[in-house]
Amino acid sequence: MEWGDTPEQAAFREEVRAFIDGRLPGYFRDHGEPVGLETGDWQAEFVLGTEVARAAAREWMEALQERGWVAPHWPREYGGAGLSTVEHFIFNQEMARAGAPPVGGQGVSMLGPTILLHGSDEQKRRFLEPTLSGEMLWAQGFSEPGAGSDLAGLQARADRDGDEYVINGEKLWTSRAHKSNWIFGLFRTDPQAPKHRGISFLVMDERTPGIDVRRIDSMGWEHATNETFYEDVRVPADQLIGEENRGWYVAMTLLDFERSNIAGAELNRRRIRELVDYLSTEAGTPHRERARAHRDAVADHYVASEVLFNFSLRIVSMQASGTVPNYEASTSKIVDSQLRQQLSRTGTKIFGLYGGIWDEGDPLAPMGALFTQEYVHSVVYTIFGGTNEIQRNIIATRGLGLPRG
């Protein structure tokens, strides 16, 4: 497909580029690929843990807040910038291209749009502004020990008791629960209903008595996920988002926000470009011999990254015309997750034992151990967010019209 900016879109793209050039702190330019920043919780220990890192994160957050670009896709009346689908695509593309850290976390990208669509006026007033300011930091409570890919099989209960719900059960892989102070999640409110019904979407203060967050350690340098236990947790009924027993359908709208995956597509393109550029420098000289053995793989990754990028353009054009991507988003997820695994494996092979050196000040440290860290982290990319096997089923049945079973 052909893609070209209109004059208005081109002007907006230049505006975003100029903003990034002028306001992105030098710290992020100098320290390689940054980690996403939760609003108000700079997570600077993941960047390097220094006061300089925290100051840079605060500076970047404040710059984005001035423009309403912490949540650029939210309406202006709720603190966003009111960007159109295409403008939001351009914004995300330029952020990813420049390596500027994404901001806001799940509260901004997922919960906020859900409340805008399904929440009451009182809920919008109560939750949106504190989410933007960072007063409320959100974790997602969906998966359970027996309900991951088959999320509708969840068993954590929320039983109505007057003006409250009483919650009991367990959630697994609760990302950022050790950093957040609020949780949004799915809980079964009618155990007699078919499994996709009888589920409700609730939000709760993580400091409510009865909530116990336990750390789950994983490979790599980042503690990102947890298991969360609920024992007689009382949640006010006015913290139900949408209708009771309709939470599954509320949650599904989370997946319809920003499905183009342009950030992932641009991330892969940038990593390939940076790898090739690094190998062309004096610092990359020791690794060129191994790189020759993997140049076909690098070329294949380049082709896949361009395919993914153009597929992202297709998805955003569908969104702009009012068409909801379905199997197209599944296709993008498969290509992106597999490419990130393959690219990190190739980078790890090229750099060998040097690839584990983390200190960017060490002349022997290639690209700050980026590919080695990504290699460790990328194991889950084909699993979370709906396994690639499930995505293939969606493509087969909804995209190709093949029979189920």
- Positions annotated as catalytic residues are 258
Tell me phi and psi for residue 38, to 5 degrees: -75, 140
**Ranges of H-type helices in 280-379:** 288-293, 295-320, 327-351, 370-377
Q: Which two tokens stand for residue 112?
A: 């906020």
Please report the DSSP string for 191-206 in residue order. TTS-TTSSEEEEEEET
Contacts by residues 10-18 (CB-CB < 8 Å, ≥ 24 positions apart): 12/87, 12/90, 13/90, 13/94, 16/90, 16/91, 16/94, 16/95, 17/94, 17/98
**Cβ atoms 319, 248 nearer than 8 A:** no
Total H helices, total E strands in the chain: 14, 8
Helix pair angle (327-351, 262-279), 10° resolution: 20
Cα 173 from chain centroid (whole Å): 14
**Closest among 94, 179, 202, 188 to 144, alpha carbons compared:** 188
* Residue among 120, 118, 117, 67 nearest 95 (CA): 67
Residue 95 sits at the vertex; the CA angle it makes with 90 and 97, to the nearest 5 degrees, is 90
Amino acid at residue number 161: D
Residue 159, CB-side half-sphere exposure with 13 Å CA sphere: 9
**Radius of gyration for the chain, computed over Cα atoms and rounded to the nearest angstrom:** 22
CA distance 213 to 211: 7
Q: Please measure the distance between the N-terminal and C-terminal CA atoms of the chain and give it in whole angstroms.
A: 34
CA 173 to CA 75: how far, in whole Å?
31
Count of residues for the chain?
A: 405
